[in-house]
Structure 1
């Protein structure tokens, strides 16, 4: 008995030491690598959340090096432990739309007529994230906007490489549009929405639906701090927020290459722009021009960095990044002007801020009706923190309120 107690005590002490070392590493990494501007509100809450993420990814990397578990598997598992509650006024049902897993949120109370429909694509770089992680976000939008909401559980990379993600989103959306009335939804009142990678998928789905004359026209799209281009990673927001949690610029490039199953050592060439052919620079230069970004967004510091000389071998390895099904900013004017009414959400402290500003400019130039909400103290991933207790951020509530208001008043 004494021996067993000693073993347990020793194991407990070892676990405590390992945990202490991991926490110390997370604190050190945060303080030495991240750069939170003095103008940002609530830095301590953000640092706390970021350190938890560092712990998760570090533990995953250790297990991967030991050959016990892939990093992404552990990270997904730990993220799934976050189980937000659904609003009790709703019911949900897990279904498959043409083979794509979805969760349909419907109101328990009957409606006098058909409701509006909303299809939501979650974020997570196409690598992590799930329907369950967005339970509270989706149920709040469904309840407050009086909509039937479909949350799409698209396949994730690297097990399912691009373009499986946006194609799953497209498939689920088309199925819902074709069967909307079965769920008490008006087929002419369907909105698509997504955050981060989900915002990218929403923009791609909307553009591809322009060509579908056999389907009702989308009523609207909601693009929440999405990524829409892969040419210039030195725009003002990429420079200003390069080390801003929760998404560093270097991590963005790393996971972008992971998403496409490419060599992550190419990130340096992507950062310099060596992957962009000369004809592409000429063709898309008018849309990628930093002059399209208002001067007020350059006040925190910006130095124009020309793209480095083109390297054909790099382009061949990452050509998928330039396809319109990823870089949706570069769709032709004929497609852009047919897009539905749009809500664009951007965050000041987000590397993707300027992607949203440039996409907004394209809509504006083509006469597309839009609304823009800019979260002055927002950062990447803030949407999921609207009901996180003491870790709740005011801007996350404001973003959701703006989404709900936009959808309600279409």
Structure 2
């Protein structure tokens, strides 16, 4: 659904593809009295990874280097995104961490972000695999489209046969159902045993394990440099556990995290807070909590 933008007269907030997220950007700008810059980046499958990431990174750097033109306080720049945009926002934030030639980001806002392509059998994927607006198969399809421009080997990805045993063991400390609080497993969860590893599939998707795409695989030394973060998750969303796992990674590395969980929320609900006359109260609550976070910085 969405992606990143930047800016704010006192702060800066990145959100998404210009047309699909115009209402959200306008709402955030108005309610938080911010300058909001939305990045229209290249889309898959015509433009594969890392095209979108590079577009968002270049746009952010350009904005930061020309900050006076926008009348924005360089100490109050926020990067924000939802869904795939949450992935891009987190990637931009991680890339800029530690850059001494640019202003330090004040915060990142990640709205039901997709942050890993290792495990499509986490509790939230099992519980919400058939819940609109993002189905389990669709999530894997989108990852492959972004990565390779096609959805070949989707079944192997869903089964987990694309991960070498040594890599699975290495990253288990960060991407594991064990790191999900038990209260999020009560709706039903069965531990998944990965299918036999297939090297030919791994070769096709090897770039999916790069930290700029799979943000949960960034090393601790980088994660601990990240700015204050806001993470929004929804109970009825396959990406819920991506957000929960990243929240833990940030907190484990001393990063301040504000977490807001919509118990009645589903993937994409923020974009539907006021959609063609249909209103979803959960979306409005989530959006207003984001406003509160921005105004409190």
TM-score by length of 2: 0.95
Structure 1 match to 2:249: 362
> C-alpha deviations, 1:103-131, integer Å up to 9, x for none?
9898xxxxxxxx32324232xxxxxxx30
Q: Give the secondary structure class of the aligned counterpart of 1:133.
A: coil
Q: RMSD value over aligned CA atoms?
A: 1.8
**Structure 2 residues not aligned, in runs of 5+:** none
Contact 1:119/1:152 (<8 A) preserved: no
Aligned match for 1:382, one of 263, 269, 276: 269
**Matched position secondary structure for 1:221:** strand
Deviation at 1:255, TM superposition (A): 2.4
Deviation string 1:292-314 (CA, Å, 9 cap, x unpaired) is 11111001100000222221111
| Structure 2 CA distance for partners of 1:104 and 1:376, relative to 1, 3 Å | closer
Structure 1, unpaired ranges of 5+: 1-78, 80-101, 107-114, 123-129
2:169 is the alignment partner of 1:275: no
Q: Which aligned pairs between 1:222-237 and structure 2 lie closer than 5 A?
A: 222-237=109-124
Please give the per-residue CA displacement for 1:2-47, whole angstroms capped at 9, x wherever unaligned.
xxxxxxxxxxxxxxxxxxxxxxxxxxxxxxxxxxxxxxxxxxxxxx
Q: Secondary structure at the match of 2:108?
A: strand
Q: Which of 273, 280, 286 matches 1:399?
A: 286
- The answer on 1:135 being equivalent to 2:22 is yes
Alignment of 1:293-312 (within 5 A): 293-312=180-199
For 1:390 and 1:147, locate their aligned partners in 2 and report how far apart those are by CA, in whole Å: 26
The separation in 1 between residues aligned to 2:50 and 2:6, in whole angstroms, is: 24
The Cα offsets for residues 194-237 of structure 1, whole Å up to 9 and x where unpaired, read as 00000000100000001421111100000000111111110000
Which has a greater percent of helix? 1
Post-superposition Cα deviations, 1:249-302, rounded to whole Å, max 9, x if no partner, equal 012112222222355241111011111112211211111121211111001100
- Larger Cα-atom Rg: 1
Q: Which string of whole-angstrom CA distances, capped at 9 and with x for unpartnered residues, describes residues 53-86 of structure 1?
A: xxxxxxxxxxxxxxxxxxxxxxxxxx9xxxxxxx
Question: What TM-score comes out, normalization by structure 1 length?
Answer: 0.69
State how far apart, in whole Å, the 2-side matches of 1:213 and 1:401 are: 33
Residue 248 of structure 1 is matched in structure 2 by 135
Give aligned pairs, total. Answer: 295
Of structures 1 and 2, the one scoring higher in RCO (CA 8 A, sep 6+) is 2
- Deviations along 1:146-174, whole A, 9 cap, x unmatched? 11110110111122211010111111111
Does 2:7 align with 1:120?
A: no
In 1, Cα distance between equivalents of 2:216 and 2:81: 16
Q: Secondary structure at the match of 1:288?
A: coil
